[in-house]
Structure 1
Amino acid sequence: MKRALARLLFVLGLPALLFTLWWVASEGSTNVYWPSLRTILRTFPDVWTGERLRGDVLPSVLRLLGGYTAAAVVGVALGAVIGSYRSVRAVCEPVLEFLRALPPPVLIPVIMLFAGIGDTMRIVVIASGCVWPILLNTAEGVRALDSVMSETARSYGITGTARLRRVVLRSASPQIFAGLRQALSIGIILMVISEMFAAGNGLGFTIVQFQRGFAIPDMWTGILLLGLLGFLLSVLFQLVERRVLGWYHGRRAVTRRSP
């Protein structure tokens, strides 16, 4: 119980400190573009009603989940293949480095030509940016598979799909989750950017509309909501990671305790 309370205080401590500093620094502000936090919080419930949450926030989250899931499936699958075979890695590495260097926002006009201006385009944009950290971390995790573990699995007749699932991906799972964690933050950024292009709803679209209409406190409420959404998704991801990688964190804890 004490450990859980200490962890909660650790997680909430820095955000609480930043909010306090923001409150103090902005209190009494007369700058139109920098309203006080008090004004933003007073405006928040009037802007983000249940109807707006369903019409703008929910579509954004669904697009993010769609693009993120697609990137996770493609990234893990390709990463496992590239990491397992040296010849495939040698052939694909130059192309992967070239494609990874292209910023996903630059590809939005190209993606719009093929996918249109609907949700498909936004999901593809999110997936195109999220896939790289997942793919590269998966490939490195698979490459780092312990040779003793691999030979032991082969000697026990663990081959094919069973070897991939129980040995290769399990061994690489810490690095896979590291890539998934990086991809989550990239996905949130691309979710907002993609909704600024030919969109009719979503968080990014709404924030831009507030800015164009000079509804500055309303715009800041959207930015605040976006930060809260990112924080909640990060906490949820950590809970899933702790559960899936419980064996890994337990082994690390034992290693740290041992002399």
Structure 2
Amino acid sequence: MTGAPPGRPKSSAWRHVVLRLVFVLALPVVLVTVWWVASDGSEDVYWPPLRTIVSAFPDVWTGERWRGDVLPSVLRLAAGYGLAAVAGVALGLLVGSHRRVRAVCEPVLEFLRAVPPPVLVPVIMLFAGIGDTMKIVVIASGCVWPVLLNTVEGVRALDPVAAETARSYGVTGVARLKDVVLPSAGPQIFAGLRQALSIGIILMVISEMFAASNGLGFTIVQFQRGFAIPGMWTGILLLGLLGFALSVLFRLVERRVLGWYHGLRAATRR
């Protein structure tokens, strides 16, 4: 028995991909075009034409600067973000799973969450110095809260039927955590991780503006102090491109880890 394989036809699939690219790229193209046209001919020192910024990009961000500034920033971000992810999920599982622990910890967590992480930079410098440790701790101290609080809410929202079924079949301990709790709280955990990623980029830049000798934040401030305004704007654009690339990478990881969840949502829409 022969016939067309099930699924979407190739022409329809290609049309879907093209439309998706149009939707993704339409607004950035419009914004860049508006910026290019609006800034063209500008003689303001602090608002150079976009063509000047773009032409300065390859001269500013050479291979040496990528190794000396961009790579250290990304490594600090990865270390702080990874530390916050592990600590946030672990503490969130503990607090969310035990009512008494949650009752004891909730006031303290709410107090600490309300303290802006940039305010803690001078305090952290007293204990961790001015090296990479300080910057990693600053990033982790801000990223941990979205992960922690979303994990707590995800664990608390565990389906009572699933919890009772696991209890009936004797699924306890690590098996219950791995097969019941984490899959159920997974979408909420990834929501917190997504929020933490943008916070981490902001704190990466802020931490590098304090007593630093390299990094994206340090370089942008140096350009500003030296009145190298096109170079400063190239650093800002590079930060935006870095954030976009990390967001795309995060989405790919999320799609792979939560494939069952996105598949279920897609099925319910049909």
Counterparts of 2:63 and 2:135, CA distance in 1? 24
- In structure 1, give the amino acid aligned to 2:183: R
Instruction: Report how many residues are paired.
Output: 257
- In structure 1, give the amino acid aligned to 2:181: V
The aligned counterpart of 2:150 is 137
The aligned counterpart of 2:255 is 242
Aligned counterpart for 1:50 among listed residues 55, 63, 75: 63
Identity %: 81
Specify every segment of 5 or more residues in structure 1 that has no aligned partner in the other structure, as ranges: none
- In structure 2, give the amino acid aligned to 1:198: A
The aligned counterpart of 1:105 is 118
Moved more, 82-91 or 13-22: 13-22
CA deviations on 1:99-155 (whole Å, 9 max, x unpaired) are: 000000000011011111000000000000000000000000000000100111122
Counterparts of 1:4 and 1:247, CA distance in 2? 22
Counterparts of 1:10 and 1:61, CA distance in 2? 29
Tell me the TM-score normalized by structure 2.
Answer: 0.93
Moved more, 1-10 or 195-204: 1-10
Counterparts of 2:106 and 2:128, CA distance in 1? 27
Counterparts of 1:248 and 1:146, CA distance in 2? 15
- In structure 1, give the amino acid aligned to 2:218: F
- In structure 1, give the amino acid aligned to 2:105: C
Tell me the TM-score normalized by structure 1.
Answer: 0.97
Counterparts of 1:127 and 1:11, CA distance in 2? 31
Following superposition, the deviation at residue 44 of structure 1 comes to: 0.4
Larger radius of gyration: 2
Alpha carbons of 1:253 and 1:43: their partners in 2 closer, same or farther (altered >3 Å)?
A: same
Following superposition, the deviation at residue 244 of structure 1 comes to: 0.9
Counterparts of 1:200 and 1:37, CA distance in 2? 28
Counterparts of 1:239 and 1:5, CA distance in 2? 19
Q: Spell out the pairing of 1:70-219 with structure 2 (5 A cutoff).
A: 70-219=83-232
Counterparts of 2:254 and 2:116, CA distance in 1? 28
Following superposition, the deviation at residue 17 of structure 1 comes to: 1.7
Counterparts of 2:128 and 2:18, CA distance in 1? 47
Following superposition, the deviation at residue 19 of structure 1 comes to: 1.0
Following superposition, the deviation at residue 5 of structure 1 comes to: 3.2
Counterparts of 2:141 and 2:151, CA distance in 1? 16
CA deviations on 1:6-60 (whole Å, 9 max, x unpaired) are: 3333222222221111111111111000001000000000000111001000000
CA deviations on 1:169-200 (whole Å, 9 max, x unpaired) are: 11000000000000000000000000000000
Counterparts of 2:238 and 2:165, CA distance in 1? 50
Specify every segment of 5 or more residues in structure 2 that has no aligned partner in the other structure, as ranges: 1-12
